[in-house]
Amino acid sequence: MSGRPPFRSESPGPRGNAGPSARWLAFLAIQSFAQRGSFVSKALDDLFTEFPTLPRDRHLATELASETVRRGLTLDSILAQYVTRPREKVEDELWMLLQLGACQLICLSHIPAHAAVHETVSLCDRLYKPRAKGFINGTLRSIERELNHQTTSDNQPLELKDLGPDLLPIFAIRGNAAGLRIVKLARRVFADPKELPLDYIAQVASLPVWLLQHWAKEETDLNRLLARALWFTTPGKMSLRVNLQRTTREAVLDLLRDADVAAQPGQLPVAIALNGSLAPGEFPAFHDGGFSVQDESAIAAVALLDPQPGESILDLCAAPGGKTCHIAERLQGTGRVIACDLSNTRLRPIRENITRLQLSNIDTLLISEEGRGLPDGPFDAALVDVPCSNTGVLGKRPEARWRITPATFADLIPLQRRLLNDALDRVKSGGRVLYSTCSIDRSENEDLVNEVITARNDVQLKTAQRHEPGSPGDGGYQALLLKS
């Protein structure tokens, strides 16, 4: 990240009465991430609060900022071949403009090329750098001239042997299926996929090469590794969890059809799979507690825990509360859920969801980082959804791939081990503990669970499930442990 001061302290806001454009807001969010490591969603939320923004502009700004950060390495690899001066000779703000423009041309084919170039070039005025317009325009026009968009079948397998260093495969969600679009450039921009396959995958999927090397120790089929990496270039498929205490899945599906939102039943009884996206706040049924937005792999965690009416259940790392509320719904208004987390800031969204979903059987509890304040129990069951590397949700969280390091796993595992043991210590004999991550790394999942079971003589593994990214949703892992 740059050591420069925050951008907005040194550059202009909106001029006159004109509100900021979606591309300007996207640029500010990209820069907030680059300079301060901000989460894209948080930066945008702050901007939307400061500047009243139409829903369509919010959607565009979110798409532009998220995709540009998510595809950063891909865009840098391409720009390096089209920019006529060394990277160190290009000011950071102008490089970010080039990333934003190139992202629209290459990755977002629904945006007209003339709009992508013209609107991006116009941001030079916002930066008080009008003399840079020719440079930005010339670079983006060169890329536009040399692009050739091709399509492939949704079901056509992609193999490294069929690719070249001038080809960019883009894994896109079309309807309820994942399909590939191939972009051909007129010059070599990536590593040779036959000679340096991991470098090629890193560049076209925009992932750290060290992470691919790490995955390759377990996944030796490079074509499968490519498919996984490309899946993470998308935000994934959106799904809903129906609150069966308030409505039925069929009723929510009818509401969606009436709103022209394509959807169908998900793999689990409370799940609905969407063919695109929606703004849940536009539906009265959302505010009335009829449904929540939640990935199917997260829904599967509570399904595996299988809460029963009347049970007392500890949720050890509850924020933001999706699984907490799902447990409470499964209890059908009986029993009790104790939802714990480290700050009132983290507990706030849980309390908001409790109110929206009209749940009366959840108590929130503030605890310390060392676990002080945890109730003794014993509980019938516990959920421990531990902090993890997020390697199963790298597409949904665009900046996550750039925040993790090789040391991340070693730093997290002692905490994960302690939390799992804390949960096991607080369930009764015969009780259940569901260990859950949104990671696909064995060290945080199977290896850690086996280590804890080996170190104790009162625990056994009943079942475990690993969610591979894209099948159908986020990646992750869940293990159900029984205390004997």
Q: Residue ranges for the binding site for S-adenosyl-L-methionine?
A: 317-323, 341, 385
Burial class (CB in 10 A: 0-12, 13-18, 19+), 344: exposed
Please give the structure tokens belonging to residue 146. 């040399």
Q: Do the beta carbons of residue 428 and residue 234 sit within 8 Å?
A: no
Helices (H) and strands (E) in the chain, counts: 18, 14
Q: Can you say whether the dihedral through the CA atoms of 352, 354, 360, 361 is positive or negative?
A: negative
In angstroms, rounded to a whole number, what is the distance separating the alpha carbons of residues 174 and 226?
Answer: 19
d(CA 215, CA 378): 39
107 an active-site residue? no
107, 340, 388, 438: the active-site residue:
438
Q: What are the Cα distances from residue 305, in Å, to 179, 227, 435?
A: 33, 30, 9
Contact 7, 93 (CB under 8 A): yes
Rg (CA), the chain: 24
- Rounded Cα distance, 159 and 99, in Å: 28
Three-state DSSP at 179 gives strand
The Cα 278–Cα 296 span in angstroms is 16
H helix runs in 71-195, sequence order: 72-82, 92-106, 113-126, 133-145
Distance between CA atoms of 273 and 292, rounded to whole angstroms?
12
Longest Cα–Cα distance of the chain, Å, equals 73
One-letter amino acid for residue 452 of the chain: V
Buried/exposed 353-385: b ≥16 CB within 10 Å, e otherwise: bbebbebebbebeebeeeeeebeebbbbbbbbb
Residues carrying an active site annotation: 438
